[in-house]
Every structure is written in C-alpha cells, then in structure tokens.
Amino acid sequence: MTEQKVAVVTGASSGIGAATARGLAAAGFRVVLAARRGDRIEALAKEVGGVARVLDVTDRAAVDAFAASLDRVDVLVNNAGGALGAESVEESDPADWLAMYQVNVLGVLHVTQALLPALRASGDGTVLVLSSTAGFIAYEGGGGYVAAKHGTHALAATLRLELCGEPIRVIEIAPGMVRTEGFAVTRFRGDEQKAAAVYAGVAEPLTAEDVADTVVWAVTRPSHVNVDLLVVRPRAQAAQHKVHRESTPNE
C-alpha cells in the first residue's frame, strides 16, 4: 500500500490557503495546515482530515520546530503573505514595508529552507510559491507590496535554478485580482468601503477556489512536468492597469 503523501500549506486559515487545503485533501493528500489563527485551522483540519499547526512564518525558531515535528513532506505550498497600506512611496510607513517583506519574502525563505531536507528525502518533492502579478508590474500605491512580491518571484526563480537536477520541482503561481474574505480589508486597515472599491464594477474577480484549483492542478502534474510560472487573472483583467468595470445602478 502506498503511503499517503503530505502537503504543507502556510497561511491556511482563510482565503486561498484554506481553499488550497480543501483542494489538496480532496486530491488525496494528508494536509498539514499552518497559520497563526489556531481556532480556524483546527476547524478546517477536522473538516479535511488534516493536521493543524499554529505557526508564524516570520519566526524562524518556530518554523524550525515546526519542521522538526513533521515525519514526511512531499509538497510545500508557500501561501502566507499579504499587503499593508496603499500609500505612495513618499508617504508610506517603512514599518509596513518591513512587515510585508518579512512575511512575503523571509517567511517563504524560512519555511522553504526548513522543509527542503524533507522534500528532498521524499524523492519527488514540490515547492509551490504563491506570488502575485505585483511581482512583475508596479502600480501606484503598491510600492511596498510590489517590492516584496518582486522578492518572492526572485526567490522562486533562483531556487529553481539551484535545485535543477534534484528531485524537487519549484512552481510559482501568480494571481491577479482575487476577491477573498480578508486581503483588501487587511490592506486598508479594516476599511470595508475602500476594500470593496477595489472590486467595484468587476463582474467576476477570481475567487480563492479559482486559485486553489490552479495550485492543485500544478502539483498533481506528472513528476517530470514543472509548471515554472502560471499567471491567473479574471477575464475582466487583461493586465495590471486594464480592468473592465461595468456600470453600477448608482453611477
């Protein structure tokens, strides 16, 4: 009997991470859900038959302890991340930039470094990095997030070069406009109106489940197939600066 493969998903308490955990469990993986909000991942772990582990990816000691507690890892989904603020470069708070760099870049680095030995030992490992189209194209008000996601993209691309010849794939998925329960609200520090304005008039932004589908598809390709980079946007978003918005009744 073949032993069940194990997938670790960071930032699994909500949004894309939670949807990915559900998708991977449905695909037959034993999912380890890692996130800061223990109550949420405990409930989701029971739902999908997985394991919940409270984890702050920016805490290297905690990440190392987390890695040491795992017997097997076949897939790592680096999903934890986020944006803070939409101020101009001139007016932005360096503390926000630091926080975004820590979670979007160093968080990926910490978890990947800690789990590479287990991924290598699996004989057929996959590292998947959730980046963003912000990792390729700048936009006003996004300086800190854009800089961080450029770092995420560079990390994934470099790791793929360095692991060439080893039994580990490195996949990057870069979503465009995705409407999840908390991303924009967190970015705008709880301002629901500003968060809603991001998606105003857009008929169908991507959902967390849309992105999770691409994650599951990518990691379940045959072992010799590496999806280096997959950009996924809603049909209404042709590019970072080109979004079709329909008129609303109040306009």
Which residues form the catalytic set?
Answer: 145
DSSP string, 186-220: HHTTT-HHHHHHHTTT-S--B-HHHHHHHHHHHHT
Residue type, 143: G
For the chain, the farthest-separated pair of C-alpha atoms sits apart, in whole angstroms, at 61
Q: What is d(CA 21, CA 48) in angstroms, rounded to the nearest whole number? A: 8
- Token pair for 143: 């300086």
Q: Is the Cβ–Cβ distance between 40 and 24 less than 8 Å? A: no
User: Beta strands of the chain (E only): which ranges?
Assistant: 6-10, 30-35, 51-54, 75-78, 125-130, 168-175, 229-232, 237-239, 242-243
Q: Token pair 């079709």 is at which residue?
A: 244
Q: Is the Cβ–Cβ distance between 36 and 229 less than 8 Å? A: no
- Token pair for 138: 């700048």
Cα 61 versus chain centre, distance: 21
Residues in Cβ contact with 185 at an 8 Å cutoff, skipping those fewer than 6 apart = 191, 192, 195
How far lies 221's CA from each of 80, 125, 216, 218, in Å?
A: 23, 12, 9, 6
